[in-house]
Chain A
Amino acid sequence: MTDLDPSFWLPALTVLSSLLPGVAISALPEERHRTRTALNLAGALAKLVLVGVMLLGIERGASYETRLPLVAGLDLVLHARALPMLFVTLSALLWLLTTVYAIGYLEGSPNRARFFGAFSVCVSATTGVALAGSLLTFVVFYELLTLATYPLVVHRGTPEALRAGRVYLAYTLGGGALVLVASVWLHALAGPFDFVEGGAADLRMIDRGALTAIFALLIAGLGVKTALVPLHGWLPVAMVAPAPVSALLHAVAVVKAGAFGVVRVVYDVFGIGLCADLGVTRPLALLAAATILWGSVRALHQDELKRRLAYSTVSQVSYVVLGVAVAGPMATIGGLVHLVHQGLMKITLFFCAGNLAETLEVHRVSQLRGVGRRMPLTMAAFTVAALGMIGVPPLAGFVSKWFLGLGAIDVGEVWVVPVLVGSSLLNAAYFLPIVRAAWFEEPAGPWPADHAPGRLDAPWLLLGPPLVTAALTLLVGLFAASPLSPLDWCRLIVLREYGP
């Protein structure tokens, strides 16, 4: 009687906890603000509770799996194991914070029902991507994510936003088609299989040429959302979306879905051993390294703050891919933990950029002089996250880079170390001028909005979320070694991945 077993339905409920409110919100009339907010927060809290229950269960060795037949002998599988939980926890937590932020950010603007509906569906798709227990399930939610994100990107309805939406869909649907073809091909050769730690066992029987081609197709397809160079062009264009959307896109939803897909393909479809045998890990690592450097170089030249952050994302997300591709236990820990750390830091930066734009109409780096005195709390959060990105100890980014570097040396890939150092220098070169100008320079003129002394920089709905994520950036770095920290959880994952 698996159907009546609560553990059977837990993963599905986790997806539905945001999907059902999303559908209800879309159907709600525009002016029902209170009901909408209540639905939103209820869904976000329910998801956190469900995630908490599963986390505790998994720590004690339980496992949760929802399995429904879908097509041609393949099932829709959602399973909660150590690796999926890493991503689900991140997305559940940041969804709650971003929802709070978005409620404040969009106050009084039109089309909020549509916005929050799509937003919730987007989070559901991300949750599905995270919990997907098979390639088919992954593809289903990966494409649903594309679909749900489109209305968010074009939310403002300006010609520029519509153009960004077209570019976004052209890239992501193209990538989706590659992933689809590769998945069908792999299933046609190998029959049904699930995501399994260490890779699906039957794959070794298959022709190596076909396997390499499938791997290349999958990476090319997933590389679009991961924004691997040269498939990153959509990400800076999609910047026209409202700040909470950018925050979610860059920290949790789209780029992370791509990076997580790469992790799944390498570890749970092919298996790291087979990938090494096929000789595909080295090219993937080189591609990631090139992306890390190129993204940072491009970020240097952007005056528009959100564009600079976007190129920074291009660079930072590839740390995850690099960690996976370098393929030692330590580097894998570094890559996986960066999935969480980058999310916390980048969402902070985007929240802050949104606050600057909302309160002071500051959109460009060159307008940031002296802004620290006008908006001290916002800029404090920004500074913590920026320093974390650079990799200053003891912040989150340092921990990721430390493990990545050590792991690379561990397996003899010493070339990775200069890449990390170079990237850190570039990060410093594009973040530190912002920090310096904000705190140590005089403003160019009076700020547009009046400011009563003793008041907060911005409404608390806009200020709370970045302060929380900035604090987390500090805490996950400081307490990296304590149990149930992201780092500790990544150790657990790696133990199961590389273990006997």
Chain B
Amino acid sequence: MPEPVVVAVTAPLALALAASLLGGRRGRWPGLLAAAAVVAAVALLTRDVVAHGPVRHQVGGWGAPLGIDLFVDGLALLFLWLSAGVGAAATVYATAYFHDDEAAGAFWPAWLTLWGGLQAVFVTADLFNAYVGLELLGLAAVALVALGGGRAIGAATRYLLVSMLGSLLYLLGVALLYAAHGTLDLSRLAAAAGEDGLERAALAAMLAGLLFKTAIVPLHAWLPPAHADAPGPASAVLSALVVKATLYLALRLWTALPGLATAGWLVGALGAAAVLWGGLHALRAPRLKLLVAYSTVGQLGYVLLAFPLLPSSAAVAGAAYQALAHGVAKAALFLAASTVLRAAGGDRLDDLRGLGHRLPVTAVAFGLAGASIVGLPPSGGFVAKWLLLTAAVRAGAWWVVLVIALGGLLAAAYVLRVVGRSLAPAHAGAPPLKAPRRLEWTALALALASVALGLVAAWPLALLEGLAP
């Protein structure tokens, strides 16, 4: 029987090939198969980690430094679950989303390739393999954005440039580290890490590259159009998952190699700027999907706010839980928004009046996921906020507390722009809306999951323990 950790990466990649061979809308069958395989593999992997602690697997038995080493602990599992859950929901959504063979034929291979790259990043023990995964998912992500056509082509081009630049910076850092230590295995590096200038430069380059790809303010301008103009299921995975891959690596690097710990405040300050900047722009966005995309800029800022507070266990847990909760809630928001866009033929905010009547399931999904984004209890967003606030208070970082509080109010204000209009009566003569059930219910399922994350937080948080000192 193949190792679950290997299946989790290779199944989507192999099935991407199958999807491109089948072509057109038939690609949905390999897609669904990949979803089943990934969920099953992550479930088995969880069982192993719970039973025996972190799993290390040497592909082909070669072992470091020659072979490919895979490593899965609680933190990796959290992100794998995020990827498995959101990926499966987006897959189901996509089976009902694409009408024509051409778009579907491009979507399925690109999405499954992206998924494989994503999983590779989450399970890698080695910084170079992480680079390979990042490149794979980066290129596939650009292809997904370009599928939107029209406006999206420009957004995709910008995205491609940013992504390449970020990858190059990261690769530069990786090369420097390899020159210094002769290994790229993260645990060996952690043991060998020193404090010299070269190593700091290497780390700085890597982090800069990663944060670049995470759309950190002021380098965020590429994200909102790219995420807003992509096709529905693509928007969801881009905003919920793709930006998390780089954040995950940044978090890993930061906790393993503390060489840059003194620069944490800088990352934190950028995070604070992102929370406020993203929130303010979401308040002014004229279109629903653009609003949701700006919200991503702001929400990623919360994760960065945790960096100056690392390596406290509350900060690690808060950052990871924020990434998880945001991912699930944001995917729900994007799927709901895309359903509205498709049913109404447009997503101008002023046309959303009466949405509560016209597409009730989608409106409820948006409201519930929105509550998690705001951080209202009982939701995953609330738990993340509680943990981050706890870390901030313990460290005496009152500015972080203030930013988190303000960010929550900003988020409430922009979510209310949508919810308030949904509850208002529709414009006279507004046509009734119809959407396939599968589109409406996958968004609702994710929205419910984002709320449930607040109620069952004890379990995923227990998985995380043991990661931080």
Q: B32-40, B252-260, B418-426: which one contacts chain A?
A: B418-426
Query: Which B residues are closer than 8 A to A by beta carbons?
Result: 314, 317, 356-357, 364, 371, 374, 376-378, 382-383, 385-387, 389-390, 393-394, 401, 405, 408-409, 412, 416, 419-420, 423-425, 455, 457-458, 461
Within 8 A of B (CB), among A154-192: 154, 157, 162, 165-166, 169, 173-174, 176-178, 180-181, 184-185, 187-188
Is A151 interfacial (CB 8 A cutoff)?
yes
List 11 extra interface pairs beyond A72-B317, A143-B376, CB under 8 A.
A26-B364, A70-B383, A140-B378, A146-B376, A150-B419, A166-B420, A176-B376, A177-B405, A177-B408, A181-B401, A181-B405
What's the Cα separation between A166 and B419 when bound, in Å? 11
Interface size on A, residues (CB 8 A): 35
What's the Cα separation between A140 and B455 when bound, in Å? 10
What's the Cα separation between A178 and B389 when bound, in Å? 12
The chain A residue sitting closest to B405, CB to CB, is: A177
* 30 A-B pairs (CB sep. < 8 Å): A26-B364, A69-B458, A70-B455, A70-B458, A71-B457, A72-B314, A72-B317, A136-B386, A139-B377, A143-B376, A144-B377, A144-B378, A146-B376, A147-B371, A147-B376, A150-B419, A151-B423, A154-B424, A157-B424, A162-B424, A166-B420, A169-B412, A173-B412, A177-B409, A180-B386, A181-B389, A184-B386, A184-B389, A188-B390, A188-B394
Whether B356 pairs with A114 at a CB distance below 8 angstroms is yes
The chain A residue sitting closest to B356, CB to CB, is: A114
Contact flag A71-B389 (CB < 8 Å), given A114-B356, A166-B420: no
Q: What's the least CB distance linking A481 to chain B, in Å?
A: 41
Whether A187 pairs with B423 at a CB distance below 8 angstroms is no
Tell me the total A-B contact number using a CB cutoff of 8 A.
79
Residues of B within 8 A of A176 (CB): 376
Residues of B within 8 A of A136 (CB): 386
What's the Cα separation between A185 and B382 when bound, in Å? 15
Whether B377 pairs with A140 at a CB distance below 8 angstroms is yes
The chain A residue sitting closest to B406, CB to CB, is: A177
Whether B390 pairs with A72 at a CB distance below 8 angstroms is yes
Residues of A within 8 A of B409 (CB): 173-174, 177
What's the Cα separation between A177 and B377 when bound, in Å? 12
Residues of A within 8 A of B385 (CB): 180
Prevailing SS type, chain B contact patch: helix
Residues of A within 8 A of B424 (CB): 154, 157, 162
Q: What's the least CB distance linking A222 to chain B, in Å?
A: 16
Residues of B within 8 A of A181 (CB): 389, 401, 405
Residues of B within 8 A of A72 (CB): 314, 317, 386-387, 390, 461
The chain A residue sitting closest to B384, CB to CB, is: A71
Whether B393 pairs with A184 at a CB distance below 8 angstroms is yes
The chain A residue sitting closest to B321, CB to CB, is: A71
Q: What's the least CB distance linking A3 to chain B, in Å?
A: 15
What's the Cα separation between A147 and B373 when bound, in Å? 13
Q: What's the least CB distance linking B236 to chain A, in Å?
A: 24
What's the Cα separation between A141 and B376 when bound, in Å? 10
Please encode chain A, from 312 to 329, with 1 for each CB lying within 8 Å of some chain B CB and 0 for all others: 000000000000000000
Question: A-B pairs with the 3 shortest C-beta distances?
Answer: A140-B377, A69-B458, A184-B389
Whether B423 pairs with A71 at a CB distance below 8 angstroms is no
Within 8 A of B (CB), among A195-241: none
What's the Cα separation between A151 and B378 when bound, in Å? 18
Whether A187 pairs with B356 at a CB distance below 8 angstroms is no
Whether B420 pairs with A154 at a CB distance below 8 angstroms is yes
Q: What's the least CB distance linking A385 to chain B, in Å?
A: 32
What's the Cα separation between A290 and B440 when bound, in Å? 51
What's the Cα separation between A259 and B461 when bound, in Å? 34
What's the Cα separation between A154 and B356 when bound, in Å? 13
Q: What's the least CB distance linking B426 to chain A, in Å?
A: 9
